[in-house]
Amino acid sequence: LLLTQPHSTSEFPGKTVTISCTRTSGSFASNSVQWYQKRPDTSFTTVIYDNSQRASGIPDRFTVSIDSSSKSATLIISGLQAEDEADYYCQSSDGHNVVFGGGTRLTVL
């Protein structure tokens, strides 16, 4: 199983940005997708778990969309804020292994 994310993205404050995560095998219907945020000098923070559940303390500006094939998930961040600037990683599994995407660096312009 591999998870593919764009290397980087950028957007202006107040706008909406999307980060995709596409798996090579299986589906997110069978093995959920999780999203983590990593800001410099801080620990990893769970943003989304079990495909669409926001972790405690995560604002509703963060949502996830999964396509009809359940092979592609998109993290959607609306009302972008400066504090959202970070690296974002998707994570899933295939019953034998836990796999992370390559990470996407989000720059808030």
Partner 1 sequence: QITLKESGPTLVKPTQTLTLTCALSGLSVNFRGVGVGWIRQPPGKSLEWLALIYWDNNKFYSPSLQSRVTVTKDPSKNRVVLTMTNVDLVDTGKYFCARTSSDDILTRGSFDSWGQGTLVTVSS
List residues near partner 1 by CB under 8 A. Answer: 30-32, 34, 36, 43-46, 49-50, 55, 89, 91, 93-103
Measured from the CB atom, the residue of 25 and 43 that comes closer to partner 1 is: 43
Neighbouring C-beta atoms of residue 83, cutoff 10 Å: 9
Bridge partners (DSSP) listed for residue 4: 22
Cα(109)–Cα(83) distance, rounded to whole angstroms? Answer: 11
Cβ at position 90, least distance to partner 1 in Å? 10
Cα–Cα distances in angstroms (integers) from residue 48 to residues 12, 22, 26, 55, 76, in the given order: 22, 16, 20, 6, 11
Measured from the CB atom, the residue of 46 and 78 that comes closer to partner 1 is: 46
Cβ at position 76, least distance to partner 1 in Å? 18
Cβ at position 43, least distance to partner 1 in Å? 5
Measured from the CB atom, the residue of 55 and 72 that comes closer to partner 1 is: 55
Cβ at position 66, least distance to partner 1 in Å? 14
Give Cβ neighbours of residue 64 (< 8 Å, ≥ 6 apart). Answer: 33, 35, 48, 51, 52, 73, 74, 75, 76
